């Protein structure tokens, strides 16, 4: 159910790439990101004033998936395309730190980091503080630019700074 993410150091400048699985083969190929398309991206912390923006980013980022698989509020009320401002506010109030990636001042995506008590992860090694990567979302028109990767790297760095030794992501529909 949970997949651990390594707290690996960031890639050196100019060496970033993404790994793409080749269908029906166990090997992978690396393709360089198009750095020139990234423009002026920055990631910022959020506040309670960003709840509506976060909810809209998450909903809009997953709308295409919901349409493709016919996901509706009736048949899957907890799917990301159906998230409410109230739910995001509850997650923020419960301690989830959210971050928004902006490119030239335009919000393009977001991600959350939830540091949890060890009791929530019984297999967690002694002395390790676990965390969860949550709500990773990039708007469709901003995909394939490395923004998702940048958000994940940012969360891993934030987790490291907060003393988190393991970051998990919940696999879901």
For the chain, which domains are there? 2-6+34-170 (3.40.630.30)
Q: Among candidates 122, 128, 121, which has minimal Cα distance to 165?
A: 128
pLDDT-derived band of residue 2, with 50, 70 and 90 as boundaries?
Answer: very low
pLDDT number for residue 33: 44
61 vs 80: CA distance, rounded Å = 8
pLDDT 10s digits, 38-77: 568 999 999 999 999 999 999 999 999 999 999 999 999 9
pLDDT number for residue 61: 97
Query: Regarding predicted confidence, which is higher, 18 or 105?
Result: 105
The per-residue DSSP string of 98-109 comes to EEEEEETTEEEE
pLDDT-derived band of residue 29, with 50, 70 and 90 as boundaries?
Answer: very low
Positive or negative torsion for Cα 5, 144, 171, 152: positive
44 vs 77: CA distance, rounded Å = 29
pLDDT-derived band of residue 37, with 50, 70 and 90 as boundaries?
Answer: low
Q: Record the tokens describing residue 6, joined without a space.
A: 């390594």
pLDDT number for residue 11: 34
150 vs 146: CA distance, rounded Å = 6
CB contact at 8 A, 83 and 59: yes
pLDDT 10s digits, 72-127: 999 999 999 999 999 999 999 999 999 999 999 999 999 999 987 666 677 777 77
CB contact at 8 A, 64 and 75: no
pLDDT number for residue 39: 66
pLDDT number for residue 173: 39
Residues 6+ apart with CB under 8 A from 160: 7
56 vs 73: CA distance, rounded Å = 15
Burial of 16 (0-12, 13-18, 19+ CB in 10 A): middle
pLDDT number for residue 23: 30
122 vs 156: CA distance, rounded Å = 21
pLDDT number for residue 170: 59
pLDDT number for residue 164: 84
64 vs 146: CA distance, rounded Å = 19
């Amino acid at each position: 159910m949970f997949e651990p993410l390594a707290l690996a150091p960031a890639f050196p400048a100019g060496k970033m790439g993404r790994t793409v699985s080749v269908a029906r083969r166990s090997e992978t190929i690396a393709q360089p990101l198009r750095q020139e398309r990234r423009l002026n991206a920055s990631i910022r912390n959020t506040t309670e004033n960003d709840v509506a923006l976060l909810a809209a980013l998450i909903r809009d980022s997953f709308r295409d998936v919901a349409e493709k698989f016919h996901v509706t509020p009736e048949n899957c009320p907890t799917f990301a395309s159906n998230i409410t401002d109230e739910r995001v506010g509850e997650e923020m109030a419960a301690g989830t730190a959210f971050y928004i990636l902006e490119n030239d001042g335009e919000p393009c995506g977001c991600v959350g980091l939830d540091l949890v008590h060890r009791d929530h992860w019984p297999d967690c090694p002694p002395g390790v503080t676990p965390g969860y990567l949550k709500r990773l979302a990039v708007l469709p028109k901003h995909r394939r630019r490395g923004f998702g990767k940048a958000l994940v790297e940012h969360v891993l760095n934030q987790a490291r700074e907060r003393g988190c030794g393991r970051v998990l992501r919940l696999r879901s529909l």
